Structure 1
Amino acid sequence: MRRNVIVGQSGGPTAAINSSLAGVYRTAKDRGANKVYGMLHGVQGLLQERYLDLSEYITTELDAELLKRTPAAFLGSCRYKLPEIHEDRAVYEKIFGILDKLDIEAFIYIGGNDSMDTIKKLSDYAIVTGHPTRFIGCPKTIDNDLALTDHTPGYGSAAKYIGTSVKEIIRDSFCLEYSKGLVSIVEIMGRNAGWLTGAAALSKGEDCEGPDLIYLPELPFDLQSFSAKVKELLSQKPSVVVAVSEGIRTEDGTYVCELGNSVDFVDAFGHKQLSGTASYLANFIAGEIGCKTRAIELSTLQRSASHAASRVDILEAYQVGGAAVKAADEGDSGKMVVLQRLSDDPYQCGTEVKDVHKIANDEKLVPREWVNAEGTGVTDEFVAYVRPLIQGDVSPVMVDGIPRHLFRPYNL
């Protein structure tokens, strides 16, 4: 690698996204890159010529280790949708002019579905114009919904946090008894794919029964059936814990959170902001049954809990960052690095590259056979798929009892 590399982060952050950034930086330097630039706030920031030289922040091995343990996007993220080439060619001309000015050989973008759309469009423009810069996608998303990859970096750590938190919520729910019982509804991220919500089943073990009900967005949600199941459970036990995806919808496609409030905010990719599913269901059950209810939103905690990160996840995130640089250095473009599971016992996973055109704007959903017949839980096969991804811990670097992160000024 004789020229420079630029890397950006896009979409929702994770506890492992910066480990991929560390992998990109280290591999690029090891392969001879002169400079490794970081886009501030992804391609949106690049259009404003906002970038930095990562060597000014990663000066020692300790800095690299801190970066791996730092949650959220160190470079800043964005949700910016590139126009189609024929709609606004000037945007592409500006981006490629900046890449030429910085003498960029490889453009690495760490992100999920929407980020792979960016890689697809930029690599297509490079082909049309004969531009030499290579474009590689590096997978990242707690949603675990990218096609063609066994799983995505970021998911394992989020799943570990969810399994741990749901187990603690279950334990807490048995502390007090209420005359008509207690129903706790835990809202977990997941618009169309229930990989995160299914991870609530990891809380089940010899010392915990796990959640009583789990509802994924892959299947229609029926309010009356839900109410009947909760009533039946309350007749058998004093406390019920339910895990629901934020994106569960009724048979007609209405988001449950829309039943209580209108959803006003829509991002650049047309995604509605989903929030309030647990609150609506808690109020519904309280009205139907008259019991004590609690609505719990894990919200951004499930993607920023680096103190509960999975060691497997952090190592694989670093691995795909390095693999993205290697792919670009060896001539690939318009590709995304994917993880291929080689075995479960012992767990082994390797990397390959796949055509980003077969990944962008697609979603991998939880298979129907991994959800129970009633649609109220996940199967043992689902748990067996997830469990290897949550193994091991990554000890934070502690200073005065609090984890230390790698810092950069946010006003750059």
Structure 2
Amino acid sequence: MEKFNALYAQSGGVTAVINASACGVIQTARKHSDKIGKVYAARNGIIGALTEDLIDTSLESDTDIAALRYTPSGAFGSCRHKLGSIEKHRKQYERLVEVFSAHNIRYFFYNGGGDSQDTAHKVSLISKELGYPITCIGIPKTVDNDLPFTDNSPGFGSVAKYVAVSIREAGMDVASMALTSTKVFILEVMGRHAGWIAAAGGLAAEKEGDSPHIILFPEIPLNTEAFFKRVEETVKKYDHCSIVVSEGLKNPDGDFISEQGLVDAFGHKQLGGVAPVIAKLIKDKLGYKYHWALADYLQRAARHIASKTDVEQAYAVGKSAVEMALSGKNAVMPIIVREKGETYRWTIGEAPLEKVANVEVKMPREYISENGFGITDACRRYLAPLIQGEDYPPFHQGLPAYVKLKNLPVEKKLSTTFEFA
């Protein structure tokens, strides 16, 4: 039986557990070496595929591949590059098929968010059109937790855990100094249009007076009058106020409060820093001394405090992607299915890429408290299982011992090179 090679690539913003998905893909493929030859990785996502910049993962030891499960970031490099329409950018797709054919690649696994699933779907379409058989499976990943069909997105649970832990610890710090120092602390978290990460901070508030006292969601336009009143009441009652704010917070006109006027490679508006804006508003109106922090890359890189549930789910979708491909499925994405019942249990299902691509799931209104500044019990029941369990990496001399792969290149076979416009 002829064996074909596979290509795996990582896309978009990385997470603390995306490499666990890579581990699931590579380890599972190695177990099916009678059907899959080599697993190549595209260096820096789809860009590596277009430029024929491939990595031979077969040259990595089993031990190092296993270590990917507890190593953060993107082991093979990621990118923000969205393929355009097939009609207008046909040369890009033809180039991909040319690279696949040159390296005997018949399986393509693309690990990313909504835009990446759109790319995976388009690749599956062009392969049919050009008559080259390629099995294309999307692998879900995004800290934003905004992919459809799946109960949650791998990468989110660990960010949620980091944010909840951080606001609890920082809140205790502020409370201890509030009499003579800082009255207000603001933690800015990721979340352009969906407030899932900000909502996760609410898990830290288990009883009256716990931080965070206020959460500002992208789904709820900022009402400054109500916000100032809430801050003032909180400081009077608890002597301090801790706030979690999503980067995508908007004003009543629908404009981002922190918009810089720039866009990234996906066409998304670049956001500045909403925390200092909110801090200045509070200072100017109420006069309170403040501190603010920007979680930024820290929240998505914190593998040392990752959710065990998240790690297991990230590995499972990688493993399932290979199994689905070998079973003859194509143009699908493995998803996490939450089973019914009081005890949290989950299984793996699937969703068609054509329905996943470019769909963004926001926080439902019933997950946000009536006043717009907190989470409901229903939201807490949804979020709580996703941060459960610890899965610490090994430590060496007090620091996490993460793996760095050799990432040796595959010899190029094409005489032509691909130039980006």
What TM bracket, shorter-length normalisation?
over 0.9
Deviation of 1:86 after TM superposition, in Å, equals 0.9
Scaled by the length of structure 2, the TM-score of the pair is 0.93
Matching of residue 289 in structure 1 with residue 290 in structure 2: no
Deviation of 1:335 after TM superposition, in Å, equals 1.2
Scaled by the length of structure 1, the TM-score of the pair is 0.95
Q: Tell me the residue number matched to 2:21.
A: 20
Taking every aligned residue pair, what percent have the same amino acid on both sides?
A: 37
Deviation of 1:65 after TM superposition, in Å, equals 3.2
Deviation of 1:217 after TM superposition, in Å, equals 0.6
Q: Tell me the residue number matched to 2:176.
A: 175
Deviation of 1:213 after TM superposition, in Å, equals 0.7
Q: Tell me the residue number matched to 1:83.
A: 84
Deviation of 1:167 after TM superposition, in Å, equals 0.4
User: Is the 8 Å Cα contact of residues 7 and 109 (structure 1) preserved in structure 2?
Assistant: yes
Q: Which structure 2 segments of 5+ residues have no match?
A: 410-421
Deviation of 1:238 after TM superposition, in Å, equals 1.1
Q: Tell me the residue number matched to 1:331.
A: 328
- For residues 45-77 of structure 1, the C-alpha deviation after alignment (integer angstroms, 9 at most, x for no partner) is 2111111111222x13x3233211111110110
Q: Tell me the residue number matched to 1:68.
A: 69
- For residues 152-173 of structure 1, the C-alpha deviation after alignment (integer angstroms, 9 at most, x for no partner) is 1111111111110110011110
Q: Name the CA distance, whole Å, in 1 between partners of 2:88 and 2:239.
A: 59
User: Is the 8 Å Cα contact of residues 181 and 234 (structure 1) preserved in structure 2?
Assistant: no
Q: Which amino acid aligns with 2:41?
A: G
Q: Tell me the residue number matched to 2:369.
A: 372
Q: Tell me the residue number matched to 1:46.
A: 49
User: Is the 8 Å Cα contact of residues 56 and 407 (structure 2) preserved in structure 1?
Assistant: no
The aligned runs of 1:122-137 (5 Å cut-off) are 122-137=123-138
Q: Name the CA distance, whole Å, in 1 between partners of 2:171 and 2:407.
A: 38
Q: Which amino acid aligns with 2:306?
A: A
- Residue 108 of structure 1 aligns to a residue whose secondary structure is strand
Q: Tell me the residue number matched to 1:265.
A: 262
Structure 1 residues 162 and 231, CA gap change in structure 2 (3 angstroms): same
Q: Which amino acid aligns with 2:241?
A: V
Structure 1 residues 135 and 374, CA gap change in structure 2 (3 angstroms): same
Higher mean C-alpha deviation, range 397-406 or range 11-20:
397-406
Matching of residue 303 in structure 1 with residue 300 in structure 2: yes
Q: Tell me the residue number matched to 2:202.
A: 201
- Residue 159 of structure 1 aligns to a residue whose secondary structure is helix
Q: Name the CA distance, whole Å, in 2 between partners of 1:410 and 1:182.
A: 49
- For residues 101-136 of structure 1, the C-alpha deviation after alignment (integer angstroms, 9 at most, x for no partner) is 111121000000110110111111112223211111
User: Is the 8 Å Cα contact of residues 182 and 291 (structure 2) preserved in structure 1?
Assistant: no
Q: Tell me the residue number matched to 1:252.
A: 253
Length, aligned pairs only:
406
Deviation of 1:266 after TM superposition, in Å, equals 0.9
Deviation of 1:206 after TM superposition, in Å, equals 5.6
Q: Name the CA distance, whole Å, in 1 between partners of 2:289 and 2:148.
A: 41
- For residues 285-342 of structure 1, the C-alpha deviation after alignment (integer angstroms, 9 at most, x for no partner) is 1111111011111111110000001111111111100111111112222111111111
Q: Tell me the residue number matched to 1:147.
A: 148
Q: Tell me the residue number matched to 1:37.
A: 40
User: Is the 8 Å Cα contact of residues 76 and 407 (structure 2) preserved in structure 1?
Assistant: no
Deviation of 1:410 after TM superposition, in Å, equals 8.2
Structure 1 residues 203 and 252, CA gap change in structure 2 (3 angstroms): same
Higher mean C-alpha deviation, range 171-180 or range 234-243:
171-180
Q: Name the CA distance, whole Å, in 1 between partners of 2:118 and 2:248.
A: 22
Q: Name the CA distance, whole Å, in 2 between partners of 1:329 and 1:372.
A: 45
Q: Name the CA distance, whole Å, in 2 between partners of 1:181 and 1:328.
A: 55
Deviation of 1:411 after TM superposition, in Å, equals 10
Q: Which amino acid aligns with 2:322?
A: V
User: Is the 8 Å Cα contact of residues 212 and 242 (structure 1) preserved in structure 2?
Assistant: yes
Higher mean C-alpha deviation, range 143-152 or range 203-212:
203-212
Q: Name the CA distance, whole Å, in 1 between partners of 2:68 and 2:386.
A: 21
> What RMSD over aligned residues (CA atoms) do the two structures have, in Å?
1.7
